[in-house]
Amino acid sequence: VRRVRIPHLQAMKTEGRRWAMLTAYDMYSAQIFDEAGIPALLVGDSAGNNVYGYETTVPVTVDELLPLVRAVSTNTKRALVIADLPFGSYGGTLEQGFATAVRFMKEGLAHAVKLEGGRAMAPLCELLTTAGIPVMAHVGFTPQSEHQLGGYRVQGRGDAADALVDEARALESAGAFAVVLEMVPAPVAARVTEVLSIPTVGIGAGSGTDAQVLVWSDFAGLRAGRAPRFVKKYADLRGILTEAAQAYAADVASGAFPAAEHSFEE
């Protein structure tokens, strides 16, 4: 199997073929999605909510994310593995962002990094790309800035649409190989997709983007309670695992497990 690389994602845009991205945080999710043919896997800082159980992505550290990136990277054969740079690990100085990205490439064995922010991130984006580190940009709603943005809100509505298009353009000029558009009105995301020559990856951005991304624990129904509007639940893993755990506990209580076939003879 040949590894998916950036020119392949670019070619899909040129050919008008849409593709799907998922997050992954461990060996099993990585193996399964890789074998299912998902071309790009993101080790998101959404591990904050989905692995570590924090309320937001803000507390996640490089040391928490790095081992997950390495697990995903070493357990895929085909997918392009993208490491999210956590809040506070870049954006202070160029040196800081460069050092963090290098750690994800060297220690995490990532194939690319993702960072949040618009035009302000263009210099870092350019520095990293020049150094051989592919960058996926992320604009629209950027969860790492939720305290600044005042919560989970759609970005780029009305008068803000032109600015969003310009931010995405600036990141493309700075060398980004793709850009995530999160919680952006569908027509605005479609406009960005048309204007840019690099792929756009939407989440809550309608069907007009080149690709889509979902958090795997959302799409597979692991999370409790209501999912955001932009999530489609493709499985009910929470229900399946709950039933399995209850059946196991009942079998142990009744003595039905372990049976002879699970036991060793003398």
Q: Which of 95, 126, 182, 194 is catalytic?
A: 182
C-beta of 183: minimal distance to ligand KIV in Å? 10
- Applying CB under 5 A, the site for Na ion has a residue count of 3
Contact criterion met (CB below 8 Å) for 158 and 136: no
- Among 84, 167, 172, 210, indicate the residue that binds ligand KIV (CB under 6 A): 84
What are phi and psi for residue 168, nearest 5 degrees?
-60, -40
User: Which does residue 213 touch among ligand KIV, Na ion, none (CB within 5 to 8 A, set by kind)?
Assistant: ligand KIV
Letters for 16-55 (x = contact with ligand KIV by CB under 6 A, - = none) are -------x------------------x-xxx---------
The helix or strand, by DSSP H or E, that contains position 20, with its residue range, turns out to be: strand 19-23
In terms of CB distance, is 170 or 205 closer to ligand KIV? 205
Angstrom distance (rounded) from CA 201 to CA 193? 9
- Applying CB under 6 A, the site for ligand KIV has a residue count of 11
Q: Does 203 bind ligand KIV (CB under 6 A)?
A: yes
Closest Cα to residue 58, out of 144, 130, 120, 126? 144
**Active site (annotated) includes residue 182:** yes
Angstrom distance (rounded) from CA 78 to CA 121? 29
- Among 110, 128, 213, 222, indicate the residue that binds ligand KIV (CB under 6 A): 213
- Among 174, 180, 181, 198, indicate the residue that binds ligand KIV (CB under 6 A): 180
Angstrom distance (rounded) from CA 91 to CA 97? 6
* Burial label, 126 (beta-carbon count in 10 A; 0-12, 13-18, 19+): middle
In terms of CB distance, is 84 or 218 closer to Na ion? 84
Write the CA distances from 70 to 98, 99, 119, 132, integer angstroms. 19, 17, 29, 19
Within positions 81 to 120, which residues make up the interface with Na ion, using CB under 5 A? 84
Q: CB neighbours of 111 closer than 8 A, spacing ≥ 6?
A: 3, 5, 73, 80, 81, 82, 134
Letters for 12-51 (x = contact with Na ion by CB under 5 A, - = none) are --------------------------------xx------
Write the CA distances from 24 to 28, 48, 81, 172, 226, integer angstroms. 9, 12, 9, 25, 21
Indicate the pairing of strand 200-203 with strand 178-182. parallel
Q: Does 220 bind ligand KIV (CB under 6 A)?
A: no
Point out which residues bind ligand KIV (CB under 6 A): 23, 42, 44-46, 84, 180, 182, 203, 213, 215
* Binding site listing for 3-methyl-2-oxobutanoate: 45-46, 84, 114
Point out which residues bind Na ion (CB under 5 A): 44-45, 84
* Binding site listing: 45-46, 84, 114, 116
